[in-house]
Amino acid sequence: TNFYVKHADEKLPMPSPGDSIAMGAYLVNAADCQGCHSPVDSKKFDFKMDAWLSGGNVYRKPKLGFNVASANITPDSATGIGTWTEEMFLNKFRSYRDPKNYNFNPGKYNTIMPWTVLANMRDEDIRYIYTYLRSIKRVKNSVNKWPD
């Protein structure tokens, strides 16, 4: 089942913690992952639901001298996070719990992803998100991380 909320005024009830996919969907919506990771149909001013969480939105960083695009976080093995293990996913977030891992000039790795905020989630919640992301439709969308 593909859970999503299309509009901010829609409510998603708190699911049972025993339902990992529903809990992950709830957390993805609460964190507004779709806000950056889902392409937008500019004619409809809405998400492209056939490309849900497939990334590619470009964020301009003129002061830093580059642009950065959001990643494809669908379970597509070629262009998304389909080859990531749960431990890899968890460690990506955990690494931002210690300022020594990010308190430097990262150059092009300076994204708008709110890693330091999301890293404070419980490991269990990050696992729920991983489980949900593994359950959604695979979308083949090769993203150029640093487009011109």
Confidence (pTM): 0.85
Percent of the chain with pLDDT strictly greater than 70: 85
Beta strand 58-61 with 40-41 is unpaired
| 23 contacts 15 by C-beta, under 8 angstroms | yes
Cα separation of 118 and 121, whole Å?
A: 6
At residue 113 the predicted structure's pLDDT band, cuts being 50, 70 and 90, is confident
The residue among 97 and 85 whose pLDDT is bigger is 85
